Amino acid sequence: MRILTHRKRAGERSIKRHAINAERSAIHVTKGDTVRVVRGDDKGKEGKVLRVFLKTGRITIEGINIVKKHRKARKAEEQSQIMEMPAPMSASNVMLLDPKSGEPTRVRVRIDTDGTKERISAKSGDAIPRPTTKR
């Protein structure tokens, strides 16, 4: 019997079965941040980040990328309707706003003396505070 040495996925045998699907990417924005859209149909609009999807690298922003969803009635007394809701968009299409000037900026990370990470605005050099969210 011949041994297959040039298999398509020969090198991927050591990776666990669902490890690739569970991989999460680092995103420069978090829930509660105010961002501006720099690419796409809603270019120039600002909004608050509602949800971050780390596995897909997408975010949902309040009032941006609005799509219509057809919702079927679930109960007899309920009515079917067409709802408008924000759809997720790629996190690479938005930029965080500078707290000093309100302009979009890139983000740098600085590690403080106590070991905590702090986000720094690339334009002004000021610290960008992390939003406080209630669970």
Share of the chain above pLDDT 90, in %: 63
The predicted model scores a pTM of 0.77
Phi/psi at 14 (5° precision): -75, -20
The CA-to-CA distance between both ends of the chain, in Å, stands at 60
Taking only the tens place, the pLDDT of each residue in 26-50 is 899 999 999 999 999 999 999 999 9
CATH domain 22-102 topology: SH3 type barrels. (2.30.30)
pLDDT class for 14, splitting at 50, 70, 90?
A: low
Q: Is 77 helix (H, G, I), strand (E, B) or coil?
A: coil
Cβ distance 58 to 89 under 8 Å?
yes
Q: Where are the beta strands (DSSP E) in the chain?
A: 34-37, 46-53, 58-61, 66-71, 81-86, 89-90, 94-97, 104-105, 107-111, 117-121, 127-128
Domains in the chain: boundaries = 22-102
Please say if the pLDDT value at position 8 is more than 70.
no
